[in-house]
Structure 1
């Protein structure tokens, strides 16, 4: 009986509220023609956050962002927030923004080496997908300085060396990683591929050296076979030109003469019958 009066008062208040709700239109609700767009502006239900947050257009989202990136939080908390943001961008394949987020996290210079190693390694993965293999390699090297046994950093470093055609280095990185985990499937795959490419590269280098040596021997043999002469002004005597002489050196010879502004030489194969017959009975100065 003691609760009957309060209950009646509550019922009257509810009736009054309902009467007011029915007589006055509700303000703040969605519009029928654009409710989907308005619904998507609520942070909890957003399918994709805007690249640039305008406080006037998205006040709720701007408020959440200010809380998340509050400068009063510890460097570790801020770095972790940027890491998570970078991971979200990475999942969306927006690798450029992922790189920016990871970089911002590293700028906080937090004291957690594991967190910094993850930031470097994740940024390396984003750089790798952008084709910036040298930048990615520098990041994994930095990660390994903080955490030498960080397996993800070793895997990504081996991939970078593979893309840069540093096949021997890729094999070395794989071997170092396999000492940590001998069953790491990705490292095993990279090592097999890198070792095969290294062997192919070494074979190609050997072939190129042999070809170069063969061509060099042929050139030397040709130089030895070819004989070059010039006649003196009277045409009575011949002078043999040393194979390594320059044109200027020959033109400066006291017995050389230029006719009709054109230098003239006799070039023949020394062992040929023509050369032997031509030189027979003539005085040759060597």
Structure 2
């Protein structure tokens, strides 16, 4: 009877204890149904991301855990390994900047394990590569190979860096060295094919560029000889060499005048040995120009003037620019003198004048209306040599 009473009393105590959990009471410190994820993330072991700065008062548990992981009393190899693992985690998360920092910290421990140091350098090279820092990545790969010449991952990373930097020969060399270690390394096989193709393309383009350069130089020399043979003078400093003169033949100056598009026009030597020049006509009375991109040296000025003024230009309000009423001049800037040219003359005859100098590759002539008030005033302060 006493046993039954004791059992009933114990059962009553258990019911009373369980009743405490059936009511609205809640365990003190329990996670809330809506905030449990945020609260769970505050526990160091389950944090998804650690705070950038760890305060021991705000995060005592995390500070304690970090001190265990990075215990300075550990041997350098252990510390370096810890940083390597941390860097690998960052690398997997594609946080390459933090990965570089972790690998760098591991290298700072200067442990005696050269394999570990080579691995830290190779891993940092990979992170730098994905950050676009190919030269830094290559330096790490080279350093890793100094510690461990047959480190295949370092060789692969170095080959990829050379390829990215367009060092195709070096990329091929690294690939060949790596394939001696592992002839089946897929990344090296792919890189070798790509580097070889790009190297051949680069060499082909270089050959083409050299041939083109040689051809252009030959053309310039022939052009310069043709100009010399005609006793045409170029207004460039006598100290400048022939190649510089030939280069400058296509340059033009139109300061102070409006004109059309004359880009790219330059003197040329045709297959018959004749010269064709870009020629500029200036109309100082109106600040206007006419430009002939290809004026054959045997062509007469009057023939071009007849075409240009077949219809009077809109700026000729007074309607006086008739070919028969036009006069042609060129200026000797050194002496501040002006010389008249016969409009019936050819371009070659003009260029062979004793005081004519071709400036920046473009023969230039002044066109004025005969006996016009502007012409009279224009010549007042200059010495004019008329026909």
* TM-score bucket (shorter structure): 0.7 to 0.9
Query: Residue deviations 1:92-135, cap 9 Å, x none?
Result: 11101100000000000000000000000000000000000000
Tell me what 2:79 maps to: 78
2:44, 2:99 → 1: CA distance? Answer: 21
Residue 263 and residue 217 in structure 1: after superposition, are their counterparts in 2 closer, same or farther (change >3 A)? farther
Aligned residues: 245
1 or 2, which has the higher helix percentage? 1
What is the root-mean-square deviation in Å for CA atoms of aligned residues?
A: 3.6
Residue 262 and residue 107 in structure 1: after superposition, are their counterparts in 2 closer, same or farther (change >3 A)? farther
Tell me what 2:237 maps to: 246
Residue 21 and residue 219 in structure 1: after superposition, are their counterparts in 2 closer, same or farther (change >3 A)? same
Higher RCO (CA < 8 A, seq sep 6+): 2
For 1:80, what is the secondary structure of its paired residue?
Answer: helix
1:64, 1:259 → 2: CA distance? Answer: 87
Q: Which has the larger radius of gyration?
A: 2
Q: Does 1:196 align with 2:197?
A: yes
For 1:227, what is the secondary structure of its paired residue?
Answer: helix
2:106, 2:87 → 1: CA distance? Answer: 9
Tell me what 1:60 maps to: 61
Residue 262 and residue 134 in structure 1: after superposition, are their counterparts in 2 closer, same or farther (change >3 A)? farther
Q: Does 1:105 align with 2:106?
A: yes
Query: Residue deviations 1:143-168, cap 9 Å, x none?
Result: 00010000000000000000100000
**TM-score normalised by L of structure 1:** 0.74
Superposed displacement of residue 46, structure 1: 2.9
For 2:48, what is the secondary structure of its paired residue?
Answer: coil
Structure 1 stretches lacking a partner, 5+ long = 1-7, 230-239, 250-256, 265-271
Superposed displacement of residue 32, structure 1: 4.0
**Contact 1:223–1:243 (CA<8 Å) still a contact in 2?**
no
**TM-score normalised by L of structure 2:** 0.56
Query: Counterparts of 1:185-264 in structure 2 under 5 Å?
Result: 185-227=186-228, 240=231, 246-247=237-238, 260-261=335-336
Query: Counterparts of 1:169-184 in structure 2 under 5 Å?
Result: 169-184=170-185
1 or 2, which has the higher strand percentage? 2
Tell me what 2:94 maps to: 93
Superposed displacement of residue 260, structure 1: 4.9
1:18, 1:118 → 2: CA distance? Answer: 59
For 2:37, what is the secondary structure of its paired residue?
Answer: helix
2:157, 2:117 → 1: CA distance? Answer: 16
